[in-house]
Amino acid sequence: MNTDMNQLETAIEINGLTYAYGRAEAVHEFNLTVPAGRCYGLFGRNGAGKTTAMKCLLNLLRPCGGTVRVLGLDPAKAEVEVKRRLAYVPDAVAFYPWMTVRETLDYLASFRAHWNREIERDLAGRFRLDAGQPTGALSKGQRTQVALIAAICPEPELLLLDEPTSGLDPIVRREFIETVIGAYQEGDPGKRTILVSTHLIAEFEGLIDEFTLMDRGRNVLTLGADQARERYQKIRARFPQAAPAVEFKEAMDVRRNGRELELIANGGGAGILEQLRGLGPESLTSEALTLEEVFVATLK
């Protein structure tokens, strides 16, 4: 089964994926390509279809239409092989509540061919987890930490994170992200792929190198993170008198307030700046939109 494991260029390939819960369509002709080695963000509002799409990758749901390939394989036909090579951290983590942390990790390790004990010891210490505590007595943050340890110790090629940090406190969130960078990415630099779905975009900003914005089951925007920050600009101008009532064709959004103008540009920033300069502003500034602001500007 070791075919193209070394030359694999695409970790995830989704083509025309459609899924409906009864008559309610959650994902509609959705496309997504995640190159191997990338940290890829899947952004969208609650109910955009992110979790449904991820569940199709795991064969937890069978697509109504379209194709899904994970590490070059069809998860419906090669479920064991696919699950052997990836790990998944869902939003709500559930363990047997009567098992201790130690027993839970041993239990989860028993399903894996490979389990890095050193990483396990490292992370359990870092998260200050009590091995003898039943998981039923853990906080939500601690349960997520156990799930993260269980996801990283098998050192999978692909890490699927579905809203992993929602509902956690800021310290736990930071530790979560640092762990993904340190313990996971460092293991096999440049080869480990991460797909993270979230609406808490700001925290993942530095980690994401490419993203897809999903809305109502569809792919609305796919872009590199640096590219997005270069293309989307917030331009502010202040005039000595009331801001001129000029139309800005290239602006996505214009806000006016007395002498001030705020424009959002998607690509045409230079042209808008040129146009504004011609109007004799008192001050003129521009800055990049963060990924979260790109999200808001696109879906508003």
Partner 1 sequence: MLLQINFKSGKPVYLQVVDQVKAAAAAGGLQAGEPLPSIRPLAEELRLNRNTVAKAYTELESQGIIETIPGKGCFLKPNQSPLRKEVRRKLLIEEIDQAVVKAHHLQVPAGEFLELVRERLEVMDEKRRASERNSGQTGALPFRSTTDRH
Instruction: Kindly list the residues in this chain that would bind partner 1 in the complex (CB under 8 A).
Output: 37, 39, 174, 177-178, 181-182, 185-186, 189-190, 203, 205-209, 225-226, 229-230, 233, 273, 277, 281, 283-291
Closer CB to partner 1, 288 or 299, in the complex: 288
- The span from the CA of 117 to the CA of 241, in Å, is 68
Q: What are phi and psi of 276, to 5 degrees?
A: -65, -40
**CA dist 75 → 39, 56, 138 (Å):** 21, 8, 32
- Minimum distance between the CB of residue 261 and partner 1, rounded to whole angstroms? 15
53 and 125 Cβ atoms separated by less than 8 Å = no
Closer CB to partner 1, 37 or 154, in the complex: 37
Closer CB to partner 1, 33 or 290, in the complex: 290
Closer CB to partner 1, 61 or 289, in the complex: 289
Closer CB to partner 1, 207 or 299, in the complex: 207
Closer CB to partner 1, 106 or 178, in the complex: 178
- Minimum distance between the CB of residue 251 and partner 1, rounded to whole angstroms? 17
- Minimum distance between the CB of residue 201 and partner 1, rounded to whole angstroms? 11
162 and 51 Cβ atoms separated by less than 8 Å = yes
- Minimum distance between the CB of residue 230 and partner 1, rounded to whole angstroms? 5
Closer CB to partner 1, 130 or 226, in the complex: 226
- Minimum distance between the CB of residue 224 and partner 1, rounded to whole angstroms? 9
Closer CB to partner 1, 56 or 208, in the complex: 208
User: For residue 15, which amino acid is it?
Assistant: N
- Minimum distance between the CB of residue 163 and partner 1, rounded to whole angstroms? 18
- Minimum distance between the CB of residue 176 and partner 1, rounded to whole angstroms? 10
- Minimum distance between the CB of residue 35 and partner 1, rounded to whole angstroms? 12
